Amino acid sequence: MHEHVKRGAVPSLNRVDSAPSIPAQSDVVIVGGGIAGISTALFLAEKGISVCVCEKGEVAAEQSSRNWGWTRQMGRDPLEMPLTIQSLNLWRSLKSRFGIKAGYRETGIAYVCQKKWEIEQAQSWAKTGQEHGLPLKMLNGAEIEALLPGISSGHSFGLHTSSDGRAEPALAVPAFAKAAQERGAVIVTNCAVRGIERTAGAVSGVVTEHGSIKCSNVVVAGGVWSRLFLGNAGIHLPQLNLVATAARIEGDVEGPDLPVGGATYGIRKRLDGGYTLGPRNINIAPIVPDSFRLLLDYLPVFMNSWRELRLTFGHEFFSELKQRRFWSNDARTEFEEKRTLNPPPPDWMIESAFKGLKAAFPAFRNARITHTWGGVIDASPDGVPIIDAVDYAPGVYIASGLSGHGFGAGPAVGQLMAEIISGDKTTVDPQPFRLDRFRSTRKRKSQGFVIQAEGE
């Protein structure tokens, strides 16, 4: 990677003003200021429910601003389709409903394929899209070239979903946060939650690094931090981390206006005129102690998705091995030591994606990479989010394991979580997102809280 490239820099993340202090009490406290937590706060505040978001760093500073910015239904798991369809409905209405300017554009998204395995994968998914009534079209080579002027020849099959689109991650979640604040939500940044307080087995409050907040409901939407936080409270969440990366490229390029995914790359045009590039069909899966603890949960999906994972063994194993898994509420925590995860971007992934992009779109051959950054994705065993109440921990809710789909699905995740908490009729069926659908969570459900709070 060239010396002029800024590594680890996420361009232009809008900052959200923090409340000057934590409230004494709130109906709901949300742990985590990513898209899941902020969207939940927005929909709770719209219902008139008092809500406080505690974010250990800055709003959206981790994966919620480090993703590609695609808002897509195409390629989703069948179980997730109703959620992602509803989320696209919400993306379309955010500006009129909440005044949110997130750079959303309904441009459509296209996949283009050359190799046999790519074509088979896309054809298989096309059936899912058609079953859910998406405006999806299968494309031959000539139709691909008509849709995407300047693409090289050799792409024999493609998919195009006209209702998919793109938005700006650095703008979107901060805009959601400001809309939530306007409706009464309290957002406190640089405020880590250390633990949950309980009375007679039910939530009675949380302890933050700045003091306690009385509440009867806690939503854990901490992304990659959710498993560690919940584990200290005796709640088992099967979740592993994947390392991803992206880059900003610039140049005098007339590239595609709509996001395009090829075998090795994904690209999105930005509002500022540049492009966001990411490596497609590959993520780094670090081998860590939790990989062995959760092996039975994750083995089936690994067998089906091995092509998309690069297993690595390195510093992550030893860092997790040394990491405290339990602590008292008056102790300084890992969340205060690492305010923002900023992993070094894997250069080889970006270089591979850039090479594939230039082969597919020759117009990018003179473009240059200006920024690269890494991110960490919270992945559930089946790649489908966990959006649920914890049956054996009254007052605890989880919105995590978004598995790299969080940006596009985020508005509907927040809406569903708010509906579950308020007891309202849910817009989509929550059953596919239950916590107890995994082997290990079915076992833990019968055990209840295994860690007792101080004073109980």
Q: List the pLDDT tens digit at each of the 456 positions of the chain.
A: 666 788 887 778 999 999 999 999 999 999 999 999 999 999 999 999 999 999 999 999 999 999 999 999 999 999 999 999 999 999 999 999 999 999 999 999 999 999 998 999 999 999 999 999 999 999 999 999 999 999 999 999 999 999 999 999 999 999 999 999 999 999 999 999 999 999 998 999 999 999 999 999 999 999 999 999 999 999 999 999 999 999 999 998 889 999 999 999 999 999 999 999 999 988 899 999 999 999 999 988 777 776 788 999 999 999 999 999 999 999 999 999 999 999 999 999 999 999 999 999 999 999 999 999 999 999 999 999 999 999 999 999 999 999 999 999 999 999 999 999 999 999 999 999 999 999 889 866 545 544 433 333
Main-chain dihedrals φ then ψ at residue 383, nearest 5 degrees: 75, 10
Half-sphere exposure of 151 (CA within 13 A, CB side): 26
**Alpha carbon distance, N-terminus to C-terminus of the chain:** 55
CA distance 409 to 390: 21
Q: What angle do CA 436, 86, 105 make, to 5 degrees?
A: 130
Give the DSSP H or E segment for 410. Answer: helix 406-422
What DSSP string runs through 381-404? TTSS-EEEE-TTSTTEEEEE-BTT
The answer as to whether 87 is a domain residue is yes
The answer as to whether 268 is a domain residue is yes
CB 367 within 8 A of CB 249: yes
pTM assigned to the model: 0.95
The CATH number of residue 286's host domain is 3.50.50.60
Tokens of residue 375, six digits:
């991110």
The answer as to whether 429 is a domain residue is yes
Owning domain of residue 341: 17-108+163-445
The answer as to whether 188 is a domain residue is yes
User: Do the bridges between strand 309-312 and strand 368-379 make them parallel or antiparallel, or are there none, so unpaired?
Assistant: unpaired
Residue (of 34, 129, 86) closest to 429 by Cα position: 86
Task: Quote the radius of gyration of the chain (alpha carbons, Å).
Answer: 21
**C-alpha torsion 130→135→138→142, nearest 10:** 170
Q: What secondary structure letter does DSSP report for 446? A: T
Query: No. of H helices and E strands in the chain?
Result: 14, 22
Tally of CB atoms within 10 A around 414: 29
* Structural domains counted in the chain: 1
| Cα 357 versus chain centre, distance | 24
The answer as to whether 91 is a domain residue is yes
Q: What is the pLDDT of residue 444?
A: 63
The answer as to whether 155 is a domain residue is no
Helix (H, G, I), strand (E, B) or coil at 184: coil
Q: What secondary structure letter does DSSP report for 73? A: -
CA distance 174 to 179: 9
The answer as to whether 400 is a domain residue is yes
The answer as to whether 416 is a domain residue is yes
Residue (of 192, 349, 339, 212) closest to 282 by Cα position: 349
- Partners of 283 in the β-ladder: 309
